[in-house]
Chains A and B, each alone.
Chain A
């Protein structure tokens, strides 16, 4: 079994071609304009690496998130481009260009998004947090900031969002979520009313999410600030102990 540091190193190194273009841009042959053979090969390597390093379950989640972001973007983007092309004067070359452009975008997103997510997922935040809290010699200011960041992140991800989803489910906040056969479901409001109600609901959810997310930061920050500061002397002591070993 590889340890997490080695897994993280491999995952982060895998990101170098995506961000620098090297050596992908060196090989010019393309399946379609904008999608090089090298990119397809690179994508296959990235997907295989995620499956091997993080497991099938995380790969599936990463892929679903990537598709959830990419597909609406591609559909809406291509629709807007087609409308623009029709307004300025439709021509065959233009429509082919749109197809190539969005195919290339899709190919990029289904590789880059899972890779970016796995770069975060590979870090065992829980173990790191525990390591910080169980070491002798105190905590550095950067570690304290990291602890607050992790607490707020986990609060949002595991408490604020699920609670809001519970309220939405229980109450049927969105007009489209009415149950068939229920008294409320029989009366159908006009589209403009439903849009207005949905917009209102989204605003309420946004305000609730922001306020719930930051409400306890001062209380937690106070608690985290009570952790003893790591002194330079402690760090030097630990360093000399490491060298002695």
Chain B
């Protein structure tokens, strides 16, 4: 009888504990970049010193907490071909096509992994694992409930069922409450009391090169288009959609972190004419956003904004957060002057980056998958505290998530959908178009 994903899951209260467990499960083949440069090099030396050690018994198939990281080849076709080859199965194009179709990857089979969306990377990692099961003794998956939308959860269940049929050990490492699909209950701070903050979002003629920022030396650069949009919205606003629809693309376009053609602007109500029209963005992978800077440097603020202002915002965020949670949980949140003296947590990193952004008075603050790396309770308290502080500063907040947790909290909702172009006629034709639809009410 098939067991549910939850029954194979070990839950952890913090990102740090889960990450340590994952690294142990994959025999420490992953260095902790998050721990800072010194920790990184210690880990890397330890990994390389084990190269000459005796080979491990039994192969472990793994999916990292950012599924793209575990893909060792350049395209979906190559990843699946390698998985077949590793299992000593004869290469068969029709089998690869069949698996790709099943996981919704048929259209992107030959596309480089670098151009796949987060959702497609997730599906590819699961497809690869389903093939690798034949040659693995164990499967370890890190926080799948965070990166897999509810509609695609059946793919994870299929992989688990397949593994159990083949007597493989399945181990899922997740954060507390990560799998919970129920809407978050009103917290002590009272979500119903959160003020509504009107703002408008305008996008016109937006074309985004899918290689993110660089032109490759080979083919023409594929383009994504965003349909022209002019919407009046209310904060907190939820940008939602299935895996791979382009939610993060919209966020990065609004924050000006992508090289793009066209105009994107967010206007706050009653904002001065000279006010910033770009949003501040908290990346899903906040580790990459730190650029390994010390915490003092992170708190120094964005675009030269005052460090003291960032520290003040940070302290207000901490107070709000502490009000939402009990003392045991809130004690993890560091005082700003402790940053470089104590080991910090992912929550501290998120808080400092958020404070630095808010202190720079952006047009809006976008939190891309704010639950990534946080337990459910911690994530809800963090988002509630960010909204409370940002609204007091007159800054709208947009959440990007496919989790239903936020539904009682948000005041407007944007659904993101992606449609593939049938046959791009020239290099300038987009390969797909992302559309935003205003629901008016939380969807």
A contacts, CB < 8 Å to B: 57-58, 61, 117, 120-121, 124-126, 129-130, 133-136, 138-139, 147, 150-151, 154, 157-159, 161-167, 169-173, 175, 177-179, 181-185, 187, 189, 200, 204-205, 207-208, 211-212, 214-216, 218-220, 222-224, 226-228
Q: Are A226 and B86 in touch, CB under 8 angstroms?
A: yes
Most chain A Cβ neighbours within 10 Å, of B70, B213, B302 = B213
Residue-wise, chain B 262-291 has the 8 Å CB interface mask toward A (1 for contact) of: 000000000000101010110100001101
Partner of B288, one of A147, A163, A182, A219: A163
Measured between beta carbons, the chain B residues less than 8 angstroms from A205 are 291
Kindly state the separation between the CA atoms of A58 and B30 in the bound complex, as whole angstroms: 37
Q: What is the distance, in angstroms, from B364's C-beta to the closest C-beta of chain A? A: 13
With contact pairs A126-B74, A134-B91, A166-B252 given, residues A208 and B213 touching in the complex (Cβ less than 8 Å): no
Q: Is B415 an interface residue (CB 8 A)?
A: no
Question: Does B81 count as interface, using CB distance less than 8 angstroms?
Answer: yes
Among A135, A173, A184, the one with the most B-chain Cβ atoms within 10 Å of its Cβ is: A184
Task: Select one of B64, B291, B304 contacting A167, CB under 8 A.
Answer: B291
Chain B residues positioned under 8 Å from A184 (CB to CB): 301-305, 360
Q: Is the beta-carbon distance between A130 and B217 smaller than 8 angstroms?
A: no
Q: State whether A183 touches B288 (Cβ < 8 A).
A: no
With the chains together, A175 CA to B314 CA distance in Å?
23
Q: Is the CB of A133 within 8 A of B361?
A: no
Q: Is the interface of B mostly helix, strand, loop or mixed?
A: loop
Question: With A166-B257, A170-B255, A228-B86 in contact, is A216–B211 under 8 Å at CB?
Answer: no
Q: Would you call A169 and B257 a contact (CB within 8 A)?
A: yes
State whether A183 touches B361 (Cβ < 8 A).
Answer: yes
- Cβ-based interface call for B107 (8 A): no
A224 to B74, CA, bound (A): 12
How many residues of B sit at the interface, in one of the four size bands? 35 or more
A125: B residues at CB distance < 8 A: 74
Q: Quick one: which of B247-261 are within 8 Å of A by CB? A: 252, 255-259
Q: Is the CB–CB distance between B258 and A159 below 8 Å?
A: no
Asked whether A129 and B73 contact (CB < 8 A) given A167-B288, A178-B303, the answer is yes
User: Quick check: B303 and A172 within 8 Å, CB to CB?
Assistant: yes
Q: Is the CB of A151 within 8 A of B72?
A: yes
Q: Which A residues lie within 8 Å of B220 (CB)?
A: 57
Smallest CB gap from B82: residue in A: A133
B contacts, CB < 8 Å to A: 26, 29-31, 33, 37, 40, 44, 47-48, 59, 62, 64, 68-70, 72-75, 77-78, 81-82, 85-86, 88, 90-91, 112, 114, 135, 211-218, 220, 252, 255-259, 274, 276, 278, 280-281, 283, 288-289, 291-293, 297, 301-305, 360-361
* Beyond A58-B217, A182-B274, 7 extra complex contacts between A and B, CB < 8 Å: A124-B218, A133-B78, A147-B73, A150-B74, A154-B74, A159-B68, A170-B252
Contact call A171/B303, Cβ cutoff below 8 A: yes
Q: Give A151's nearest chain B residue, CB to CB.
A: B72
Tell me the bound Cα distance from A175 to B304 in angstroms.
Answer: 7
Pick the 3 closest A-B CB pairs, nearest first.
Answer: A162-B212, A170-B257, A158-B114
- The smallest beta-carbon distance between A241 and chain B, in angstroms, is 16
Q: A61-B217, A166-B213 are in contact. Are A208 and B69 (CB under 8 A)?
A: no
Asked if B302 contacts A171 (CB within 8 A), the reply is yes
- CA–CA, A35 and B82, complex, Å: 51
Q: Which of A121, A166, A224 contacts B72 (CB 8 A)?
A: A224
Q: How far is the CA of A163 from the CA of B257 in the complex (A)?
A: 9
User: Nearest CB to that of B64 among chain A residues?
Assistant: A219
Most chain B C-beta atoms within 10 Å of own C-beta, residue among A167, A175, A205? A167
CB-CB under 8 A for A117 and B361, given A126-B112, A207-B37: no
A121 touches B218 (CB 8 A): yes
